[in-house]
Amino acid sequence: MTKEFDNILDECLERLLVNGETIEQCLQSYPEQAADLKPLLQTALATRQAAAVQPRAEFKARARYQFHSALQEWVTRKRHPFLSWFPRWATVVAIVLGVLLIGGGTIAAASYSMPDSPLYPVKLAAEQVQLALTTSDIGKAELCAKFADRRVTEIVYTADRGDTQRIEAATRRLDERLVMLASLTSTTTKAAEEAPRMLESTPPTHFGEAEDSQLVPMSGGKDNRVKLRTAVAGYATNHPAFLRATLKKAPASARPALRRAINVAQTGYEKALKGWD
């Protein structure tokens, strides 16, 4: 009897938690056990909801950055042991030749590289190519937001190392992307107001990466703009907050550069969001 009830309870939990059925639907399948089942299903449902704790956005961003840094180091060490002693110029030449010969594998690896990595120039070059190959404004805007997110991660990475020059370089690149994003958001909004049908027929461009969970694949013009605006609004809050949290722990020498980065992020996102107003 108990074993049978264990199975019934589990079946109902699967239906409830995985298939999205209601408690009533489950109870209808087992009217004889309904009186015992109902309170347990209610408890289980409440438990699942209460257990759905969301990690803080700031912690998640920091953890992701630290993991990607460790991942980058791990991959470089395991896959490219020669990179640690190869002359820098020769490494870049080898990478470019490698890309030409073997395709996009290196580009994929480079997309997670940090400014002090030999693969970093490949990452920047790949981004330029992606922007150049994307024809729609909404696609370009999506890429700008994605690359701005990368720049913030790089600023935090370089700030931890007290590398002021690289913080400033990444901040300049962040500024460029946010200026471009602001210009594109205003263009796409005007275009959408004037010719929504035309915009909706624009083929979506998406370079999906696990790191960009906020930027989901976009399918339609109007949806694209809404999703992009949501993602950018999230970045507008999270990026300056993340940079401010970094500022507290950063070496004194890196703080002026970090303050400039915070300023660039705040004003850049404000302008970008204004484009949608």
Site for other proteins, rule CB under 8 A: 2-3, 5-7, 9-10, 13-14, 17, 39-40, 42-56, 59-60, 63-64, 66-68, 70-72, 74-75, 78-79, 108-109, 111-112, 209-211, 213
* Cα separation, 126 vs 180, whole angstroms: 17
Half-sphere exposure of residue 173: CA atoms within 13 angstroms, side-chain side: 23
127-152 burial: b if 16+ Cβ within 10 Å, else e: beebbeebebbbbbbbbbbbbbbbbb
| E-strand stretches of 25-143 | none
C-beta closer to other proteins: residue 17 or 99:
17
Residues with Cβ within 8 Å of 18's Cβ and at least 6 positions away in sequence, in order, are: none
The nearest distance, CB 32 to other proteins, in angstroms, is 17
C-beta closer to other proteins: residue 17 or 131:
17
C-beta closer to other proteins: residue 23 or 182:
23
The nearest distance, CB 26 to other proteins, in angstroms, is 14
The nearest distance, CB 70 to other proteins, in angstroms, is 6
The nearest distance, CB 184 to other proteins, in angstroms, is 26
The nearest distance, CB 111 to other proteins, in angstroms, is 8
The nearest distance, CB 214 to other proteins, in angstroms, is 11
For 260, the enclosing helix (H) or strand (E) is helix 255-274
* Dihedral of the alpha carbons of 159, 162, 164, 166, in degrees to the nearest 10: -60
Tokens of 119: 């693969």
C-beta closer to other proteins: residue 78 or 197:
78
Half-sphere exposure of residue 90: CA atoms within 13 angstroms, side-chain side: 6
Residues with Cβ within 8 Å of 112's Cβ and at least 6 positions away in sequence, in order, are: 68, 71, 72, 75, 211
C-beta closer to other proteins: residue 28 or 135:
28
C-beta closer to other proteins: residue 208 or 256:
208
